[in-house]
Structure 1
Amino acid sequence: MSGINPHPSEEDVKTKIVIPALLQAGWSHENFLTEYNLRSDKYQIVPQTGQVEQIAQKQQRPDIILCTNIFHPLAVIEVKRSELDSAGIDQAIKYAKTLQVPLAYATAGHGFVEYNLKTGQQRSLSLTDFPSLNELWSSYCTALGITAAADQQNLAKAQYFRDEGTVHGRLIPRYYQMVAINSVVQAIVGLHRRRLLLVMATGTGKTYTAMQIVFRLKQAGVIHRVLYLADRNKLVDQAMSAGFESIAPCLKITGGKIDTHHEIYFGLYQQLSTSRKAVSADVDSEDAEAQVTSLIDLYRKLPPDFFDLVIVDECHRGSAAEESSWREILEYFHPAIQLGLTATPNTKDGADNTAYFGEPVFTYSLKKGIEEGFLAPYRVIRIDLDKDKTGWMPELGQLDDNGQEIPPKLYTVSDFDRTIVLPDRIKRVAQIINDFQHNSLGDMAKTIVFCATQNHALRMRDALRELNPQHMQENSNYIVRMTSNDEEGKALYAQFCSISEEYPVIVTTSKLLTTGADTKGTQLIVIDANIKSHTEFKQIIGRGTRLAPENGKTSFTILDFRRVSEIFNDPDFDGEPDELQEVGDPASDDPIFKPKAKAATTDKQGSTKAAITNRDANDHDAAKSNQPHGTESRKRSEHVVSGVEFTVVDANVLYLDETGKRMSTPLRDFAKQRILSEFPASEDFTHSWLTAKSKADIIAEMERQGVFFSDLRQVLGQDNLDEFDIVNHIGFNKELMTRSERAEQARHSAIMQRYDARQQQLLRELIAVYEDQGFEAIEKPVVLKAPRFQAYGGVPQIIASIGGADGKDGYRQALSLLLYQDGDTAEQAAHADAAGTSDYTAVP
């Protein structure tokens, strides 16, 4: 290895030593996946302020991922600059676990250290002994239990689909998509699984994942014809346009016969049972017009082995239940491989997906997606109206608005807008929605309001329109209803989902947008319906989880009027909000309902995402979805009673810490807890601050822990505050100083007097920059290139003048001591100087 730097950087070790060794072992550059992120920057909603912060996460980027058939990882290599090759093995093991590969390697350029996650064995290899692709492939298959040579060969043929429209023909999947695709393909091709369940949170790309699974299985020669079942027309259309049409001839089954010359067939769940019974009560179907011929009437014309693979999208919606017509078709096509896809595996709500499909081959949860920065965080604002909590009872013999006597009983929130309609409640809810949207998000922030019934959605639409005459005058589609019996509203679905379309802005609905609605621009979700189901609630949250930061969508908000968010109290629920607020009367000074000086994530087009579901165990609204418009109230004995006033009660703020646990703590107290968990005493923090090579690193790490300095400045009411003083004030009750006060103290400090006149003049210039911009502006020597410092020589001369023999480190330490010394620190520094042991040797 002559000619190689005796002190190479990690990049030099990788490019000049490791990669040549891999190429010598028979690998090619096509097998290397480098600089591949296993997580993204995380967005977090700051408690109290409602602002959204982007938090740079600790880097999780393996140096080299070794692949076969691009995007099918076999092993991970971590490169370190060290005397020992094993220095990076623990990090490599961590990455290998994330990617679910059995082998991890580490190197510092002297050799390799291999760790086998399956056996727990670790061994050393020379640079010339690294396994070849074939050897590593054999080890990989053995670890997975794929021992038959034919299965290994078929799996090796299962190439990924490469979208020719992307750079170099590669649309790079996220790591969890790779793991999901590989897990399913391996289980089918190598382990001969016939029923499988794949769980991926909404917004993580299930359709793309399914397309790659189908393509790879076709490449492996395992399947030819595929049946893709979904519960909504829009899901079918989205799937076909999301890549399936690029990989094989597709057909959407809509008529009375099936053309057998295609390879991928799409059918609707509703079509399975139309000719035998009414639409199931758990579906508010927008596809009634498509239900002319039932697929269940067609499938018996096909042989049971016609399809090789049946994919059931959103399989939480009853496909595994014994009474479901899905079960009938799945059992008829029993020779086919059957794959269930869902964001919400259902074990609590009457059907157990795992009982039919088996345990998931891979799960990527909502909580993990938010933590890793791939999904949008959200907050839930819970609003309690007085009679929602206490109920309402009519007077004996009281008549409703139509002159009918109201049955004497206590009506609770589960009755509201179903058997008893209280228009004043609807107006109160509409006013709260309107105030929050306008004041906190902006007039054009797209909003979905989920109502108890279709008629409730109609009344809510009208109430919101009354509050927005100017917007309605500008565009009559500003507020619309989208329900299965509202053709005009349904026709606007595509425009509402589009980020580029401004209108509609506010949509009221019952069930139409609960599942599969790709409402990218939605910033506000309102729940005014009773939901008891974990599955339903996760579907609600899932409507808003996709991130679109390029369009300003980094979070979304849920307004909960029916205490549906109490589902968070269930320990089995996965995916709590960043913030959950219980709020009082909007007429009070509660900041939630007051205008913000600057909306956190609003733009003219309303760029956020969310949606919500709306269904409880007793909701038969869907069964009415095929009734003529206006018959709903006649079928359901409905009493309309005006004049019943509603007010908002209860005010409390609840939010989550970084572990996902809900707390009832103000932002300032929360920050103090985070500070004290890292620095038990003020001296600990001060020492770390003064000796750190970069204050920016300390600030970034504290913000990752939830100490958000910009928001704390708002709480403290002063913008001109140094992070050092914020921490000492909040964490240790020290007197708060502004940057101006700290700068003035430095100008007259004893340490300043130890410099000569020219050095003092230079330091005063640096202090002026600090006073205006903070310490981060002066700790990097690039600031010395500014015109104001030209009179003091070049950058090297200035650093030498201030930092002495310690150079840049001395320069930073000298400025740090000058600005952050207090009485105790100055005394300690003086004693250290006298003893010759000071960390701050830059002061002359």
Structure 2
Amino acid sequence: MVTEADTCRKFIVPRLQAAGWDDAPCAIQEQRTFTDGRVMFVGGEPRRGQKKRADYILRYRPDYPIAVIEAKASYRSAQDGVQQARDYAEVLGLRFAYASNGHEIIEIDVAAGTEAVRADFPAPDELWQRLRDELDLPEVAANRVLEPGFPDAERPLRYYQEIAVNRSLEALHGGQRRVLLNLCTGAGKTAVAFQICWRLWSAGWNKRGDHRRPKILFLADRNILVDDPKDKTFTPFGDARWKLGPSAVSHGRDIYFSTYQAIAADERRSGLYREFAPDFFDLIVIDECHRGSARADSSWREILDWFEPAYQLGMTATPLREESRDTYAYFGDALYTYSLAQGIADGFLAPYRVHRIVTDLDAAGWRPSAGELDRYGREVPDEEYQTRDFERTVALRARTEAIARHLTDFLKNTDRYAKTIVFCVDQDHASEMRAALVRLNADMVAKHPDYIARVTADEGDIGKGMLSRFQDLEAETPVILTTSQLLTTGVDAPTCKNVALARVVGSMAEFKQIIGRGTRLREDYGKLWFSILDYTGTATEKFADPTFDGEPTAQTTTEIDGAGAVVATKTDERPDTDAVTTDTDVDPAIVLPDSADDGLPRKFYVDGGEVEVVAHLVYDLDGDGKRLTCRKLTDWTGEKVRTLFATPAAFRAEWAMPDKRSAVIDALAERGIDLHALMQEAERPDDDPFDLICHLAWNAPLTTRAERARRVREGGLFTRYEEDARAILDALLDRYAGGGANELTLPQALKVHPVSDFGNPSEIARRFGGPQAMRQAVADLNLALYAA
């Protein structure tokens, strides 16, 4: 029989070569994997799901894929590959897809919505011309779109980054002056921006259309968002780079970097941006463009308006919703969107487990006793204070201590060296939290004085140094950072394993940025997932928002007492900075100035009282990664099995054959169903997993393995064999009854007691009349076990 590999080697590749796809600079990429496989939790342990792999990706230029091919064995119809080819074309952002069995070729034109049979594969120039016609690009612009990117063998662009780069170049070369990319936090926006700039710069593109290297401004709202790209990703530009500042103005470079604040007008300055003519820059790249620059009344908008002649590329991680409407009104619809959900599904970003921790004060609110005074002798207003008021209007030391104690215990029970960021209400709260954590982790602080650090704007260079070491893959400490606003965005901390929310986050955009601190995935450092410890209800609320597009793996609810000790836990496990930011979740009605005229803080500080944790819930994504839920594994197993098999008979037909059973187990695992964990949760350790699954999916009666073995012995199978062979089959049934169907796997089954007592595998095979007869007997035994 001709296999799919034979079809590819003997038929498809020669026909591609005949069409010119093997001639440089065109290329045929065979068996190209383009995702890493989603990280799932199976039996409580992370594991990779199946990777997506295309049989062939055709590239018109090394950095410009143009078509995908799905191959089928020659005895199958090419139509069998059409749906897969179309799906891969849509994922990879390609217009053309082909399905072929080596003889028949079906072309899918995604843009035209057509499918047609072709005699041969098209030549590279034919596809490129058809695509050019769709893009409406003149020859000069089309050639510039194909300009090669900067080669990086260690970190080549992922498929979605390549889509973002090429679509941006097509738009810019096509004359589109405002361009928007929506790439989730952790997706590598800086790498995308660099490749766009490199290819424009190398092609000699500029807004006038003559051949001159462009002047490009990279603009952001925080120094860390500017310094990191300039000093790391954009280093291939060498001396063409320049960072703007009050005493650092140059007109002779090509790639400029600046924060808004450094060049914007304020009460002291007329605006450094006015040192440049409005038409000086050809392109402005605005990182995190949702953070106020597009708002019509923003002082930062003045900069974009001044440089109105420039092409402007906005980059954001925020989809269109009410709070980002200004961004989309200014830039237009996103050219391309890559969501957090997709990043997790592809296995490029880390999934997460949500721990919802509730203190008694957050559950019921807090009211001061009559005449209660704070640490400064001021009477606390008699009101009912809720979570949103804590650390904004009234600071409760006992609550901070309870949170710190719970977090400390969590690290003690998991990993005390797991990098952790604690997001607090303000810098003062971050300081109080740090002090509480230091007291509770004195043993670790004695070993590592920098075990816990506050990183806020007030810390200056010391904070930057701590942050740099926190980001360093090889640096063991600091382990815990407390912060308020500073680390919400632009901090690449690949090994951050815990994100703790000790403040309410009202803005979805900011919430997603905060979550993004943990989504970087570093498998080589054991970072496959991370935990969100939610002490304010923010995560649970945001994940329930239908507009949220990321998918957590779990939620845990933990109750803690005033000492921070866990009272109860419920876990359902399933498969800078010169920035001035707006704290969008602050209610102006309750936020007071930092201090009054008398110099005392306007926030009330209450140092007494006791606070207990009253709940700790753990939430995971369901097996499909579609929603956050607390359902038990047994609750959704039946539903997922029925999506794989329409009837018990269909399931039995696959399960009864050892060579197919492993594929069934893998398919279940892909949906978060681990057989060992399932049997433990159902408390049915003696049942065959087949029967337990049938019971959950179709309400079939439960049967133990011992009962199935008894039925086989009483059936007619044993009568076919001589006494010696029957004894071996009887021993195999004993192994099955004790350990399950895996005990019948050859040749391992022949090497364990009591089967091995009958001799070595060759001697055992002779008792059946030879190896083939023995294999058939074991296959028949499997079929008999699951016959009914």
The one-letter amino acid of 1:12's match is: D
8 Å CA contact retained: 1:531, 1:617: yes
Partner of 1:791: 760
Change in CA separation of 1:584 and 1:750 when aligned onto 2, cut-off 3 Å: farther
Q: Distance in 1 between matches of 2:767 and 2:344?
A: 46
Instruction: State the one-letter code of the partner of 1:141.
Output: R
In the alignment, what sits opposite 1:173? 157
User: Deviations for 1:182-220, whole angstroms, at most 9, x for unmatched residues?
Assistant: 11111111x211111101111111111111111222233
Which residue does the alignment assign to 1:283?
none
Q: How far off its partner does 1:533 sit?
A: 0.6
Q: What residue is the counterpart of 2:235 in the other structure? A: 245
1:228 matched to 2:222: no
**More displaced 10-residue stretch of structure 1: 694-703 or 417-426:** 417-426
Note the C-alpha offset of 1:616.
4.0
String of CA shifts for 1:699-724, please: whole Å, max 9, x gaps.
11112223222322442457777532
CA contact (8 A) 2:554 2:629 kept: no
Q: Tell me if the contact between 1:230 and 1:236 (Cα under 8 Å) persists in the aligned partners.
A: yes
Q: Residue 195 of structure 1 aligns with which residue?
A: 178
Q: Which position in structure 2 is the counterpart of 1:442? A: 415
Task: For 1:478 and 1:32, locate their aligned partners in 2 and report how far apart those are by CA, in whole Å.
Answer: 51
Deviation at residue 651 of structure 1 after TM alignment:
6.3
Note if 1:82 corresponds to 2:74.
yes
The 1:723–1:56 alpha-carbon spacing in structure 2 relative to 1, beyond 3 Å, is farther
Structure 1 residue 311 corresponds to structure 2 residue 285:
yes
Q: For residues 220-250 of structure 1, give each alpha carbon's deviation from its aligned partner in whole angstroms, at most 9, with x where no partner exists.
A: 3324221111222222232134432114522
- 1:417, distance to aligned residue in structure 2 (A): 1.4
The SS at the match of 2:323 is: coil
Aligned partner (choices 424, 438, 444) of residue 451 of structure 1: 424
Asked whether the equivalents of residues 479 and 505 of structure 1 are also in contact (C-alpha less than 8 Å), the reply is yes
Aligned: 1:816 with 2:785: no
Moved more, 317-326 or 268-277: 268-277
User: What displacement does 1:746 show?
Assistant: 6.1
Give a deviation string over 1:120-171, Cα, whole Å, max 9, x none: 33333334xx3221111101222x3325333323323x212212x54xxxx5
Distance 1:421 1:56, change over 3 A: closer
| 1:357-389 Cα distance to aligned partner (Å, 9 max, x none) | 110000000111112222111122222222223
Match of 1:214 among 194, 197, 203: 197
Letter in structure 1 aligned against 2:267: R
Q: How does 1:421-432 map to 2 (within 5 A)?
A: 421-432=395-406
SS state of the match for residue 230, structure 2?
helix
Return the offset for 1:407: 2.3
The answer to whether 1:33 aligns with 2:1 is no
Look up the match of 1:162.
151
Give the residue type in structure 1 aligned to 2:550.
Answer: G
Deviation at 1:725, TM superposition (A): 4.4
Contact (CA 8 Å) 1:370, 1:377: kept in 2 or not?
Answer: yes
Shift in Å, 1:443 = 1.5
Equivalent in the alignment of 1:472:
445
Within 2, Cα distance between the matches of 1:632 and 1:11?
Answer: 80
**Contact 1:226 1:307 (8 Å CA) reproduced:** yes
Cα distance in 1 for residues equivalent to 2:157 and 2:528: 21
The offset of 1:516, in angstroms, is 0.8
Q: Distance in 2 between matches of 1:38 and 1:745?
A: 48
| AA aligned opposite 1:503 | T
Report the counterpart of residue 585 of structure 2 in structure 1.
Answer: 617
Alpha-carbon contact 2:648-2:694 (below 8 Å) kept: yes
CA distance, structure 2, for counterparts of residue 777 and residue 160 of structure 1: 54
TM-score normalized by structure 1?
Answer: 0.82
2:611 pairs with 1:646? yes
> C-alpha offsets along residues 543-576 of structure 1, whole Å, 9 cap, x if unaligned?
1111112211111111111111212232222223
- For 2:497 and 2:367, the matched residues in 1 are separated by 36
**Cα gap change, 1:480 to 1:743, in 2 (>3 Å):** farther
- For the residue of structure 1 that corresponds to 2:387, the secondary structure is coil
Q: Does 1:96 align with 2:78?
A: no
Work out which of the residue numbers 244, 250, 265 in structure 2 matches 1:259.
250
1:596-611 matched pairs, under 5 angstroms: none
Partner of 2:330: 356
Query: What is the letter of the counterpart of residue 452 of structure 1?
Result: V
Closer, same or farther in 2 for the Cα pair 1:659/1:491, shift >3 Å? closer
Matched residue type, 1:123: A
Tell me the distance in 1 between the aligned counterparts of 2:687 and 2:763.
31
Q: Give the aligned partner of residue 546 of structure 1.
A: 520
Matches within 5 A, 1:692-703: 693-703=659-669
Partner of 1:324: 298
Q: 2:61 aligns with which of 41, 64, 69?
A: 69
2:726 to 760, 765, 786: 760
Q: Which residue does the alignment assign to 1:829?
A: none
The equivalent residue for 1:667 is 633
Distance 1:798 1:428, change over 3 A: farther
* Alpha-carbon offset, residue 425 of structure 1: 1.0
SS in 2 for 1:153: helix
Deviation of the 1:276 alpha carbon: 3.2
Other structure's SS at 1:23 match:
helix
Q: Deviations over 1:28-64 (max 9, x none)?
A: 2651122222332211246xx7x2432422x532211
**1:260-279 equivalent positions in 2, closer than 5 A:** 260-273=251-264, 275-276=266-267
**Counterparts in 2 of 1:232 and 1:631: CA distance versus 1, 3 Å:** farther
Contact persistence 2:217–2:257 (CA under 8 A): yes
Instruction: Check if 1:117 corresponds to 2:104.
Output: no
Q: Which residue of 1 aligns with 2:577?
A: none
Three-state SS of the structure 2 residue aligned to 1:325 is coil
Quick check: 1:205 aligned with 2:174? no
Structure 2: which 5+ runs fail to align? 207-213, 575-580
Residue matched to 2:383:
409
Pick from 168, 179, 188: which aligns with 1:184?
168
Sort the Cα spacing of 1:548 and 1:800 in 2 relative to 1 into closer, same or farther, 3 A.
Answer: farther
CA shift, 1:460, in A, is 0.9
Distance in 1 separating the partners of 2:393 and 2:770: 83
1:88 aligns to what SS in structure 2? helix
Q: Deviations over 1:338-366 (max 9, x none)?
A: 00111124643365211111100000001
Q: Separation in 1 of the partners of 2:526 and 2:684?
A: 27
Distance change (3 Å), C-alpha of 1:54 and 1:153: same
| Residue pair 1:770, 1:778 contacting (<8 A) in 2 also | yes
Identity, in percent, stands at 35
Distance of 1:614 and 1:651 partners within structure 2: 31
- Answer yes or no: is the 8 Å Cα contact 1:194–1:337 preserved in 2: yes
**What SS does the aligned partner of 1:485 have?**
helix
User: Could you tell me whether the CA contact under 8 Å between 2:292 and 2:298 is conserved in 1?
Assistant: yes
Quote the residue 2:313 is aligned against.
339
TM-score, with structure 2 as normaliser: 0.88
Asked if the contact 1:515/1:543 (under 8 Å) is kept, the reply is yes
Report the AA paired with residue 116 of structure 1: D
Distance in 2 of aligned mates of 1:614 and 1:273: 17
Per-residue deviation, 1:311: 0.4
SS of residue matched to 2:102? coil
Q: The residue matched to 1:706 in structure 2 has which SS? A: coil
* SS of residue matched to 1:68: strand
* 2:129 aligned residue (134, 138, 141): 138
Once the two structures are superposed, residues 45-98 of structure 1 have per-residue CA deviations (whole angstroms, 9 ceiling, x without a partner) of 46xx7x2432422x5322111112213111112221134444322221221122
Q: Which moved more, 1:717-726 or 1:18-27?
A: 717-726
Q: Please list, as runs of the form range in 1=range in 2, the aligned pairs for 1:444-593 lying within 5 A after superposition.
A: 444-487=417-460, 488-565=462-539, 566-585=541-560, 590-591=568-569
**Rounded Cα–Cα distance in structure 2 between residues aligned with 1:624 and 1:790:** 85
Q: Is the 8 A contact 1:529 1:614 kept in 2?
A: no
Q: Deviations over 1:253-276 (max 9, x none)?
A: 245132333221111133134743
Q: What amino acid does structure 2 have at the position aligned with 1:472?
A: V
Separation in 1 of the partners of 2:715 and 2:626?
45
